[in-house]
Amino acid sequence: MQRKWCFAALFTLVALVGSQALTAQGRGVPGGVAFNSARDGNNEIYVVNWDGSGPARITDHPASDTEPALSPNGRDIVFTSNRDGNNDVFIVDSTGRNPVNLTNHAANDGWPRWSPNGRQMVFHSNRGGNFDIYVMNIDGSSPTRITDYPGIDQFPDWSPDGREIVFRRDVDIYAIDVTTGETRRLTQTAPLLNQMAAWSPNGKQLVFMSARDGYPSVFVMNADGSGQVNLTPKNPGDLDSQWISRAPSWSTTGRQIYFMSSRPSTGLDTEIFLMASDGTGLARITDVIGVDGNPRAR
| pLDDT given for residue 261 in this prediction | 98
Contact in structure between 274 and 257 (CB atoms under 8 Å): yes
Domain ranges (residues) in the chain: 8-297
Over residues 157-161, mean pLDDT: 98
Q: Tell me: pLDDT of 35 over 60.
A: yes
Instruction: For residues 193-211, give the mean pLDDT.
Output: 98
Which amino acid does the sequence have at 240?
Answer: D
5-29 pLDDT tens trace = 333 333 333 333 433 333 444 443 3
Distance CA 230, CA 50 (A): 23
Q: Give the pTM.
A: 0.90
Residue burial 249-271, b: 16+ Cβ < 10 Å; e: rest? bbbbbbbbbbbbbbbeebeebbb
Does residue 236 carry a pLDDT above 80?
Answer: yes
Considering only CA atoms, which of 253, 266, 274, 246 is closest in space to residue 11? 274
More reliable by pLDDT, 193 or 16 = 193
Burial of residue 23, with CB atoms counted within 10 A of its CB: 0-12 exposed, 13-18 middle, 19 or more buried: middle
| Contact present, 294 and 69 (Cβ < 8 Å) | no
The separation between the first and the last C-alpha atoms of the chain, rounded to the nearest angstrom, is 27
Q: What is the pLDDT of residues 66-120, one digit of tens each?
A: 999 999 999 999 999 999 999 999 999 988 989 999 999 999 999 999 999 999 9
d(CA 266, CA 252): 26
Mean pLDDT across the chain, nearest whole number? 90
User: DSSP class of residue 233?
Assistant: P
Q: What is the pLDDT of residue 3?
A: 37
pLDDT at 2 over 80: no
- Identify the band that residue 30 occupies on the pLDDT scale cut at 50, 70 and 90: low
For range 278-296, the mean pLDDT? 95
Whether 78 and 102 have beta carbons less than 8 Å apart is answered as yes
The pLDDT value recorded for residue 268 is 85
Query: Residues 52, 291: contact at Cβ < 8 Å?
Result: no
Class (C level, CATH) for 8-297: mainly beta
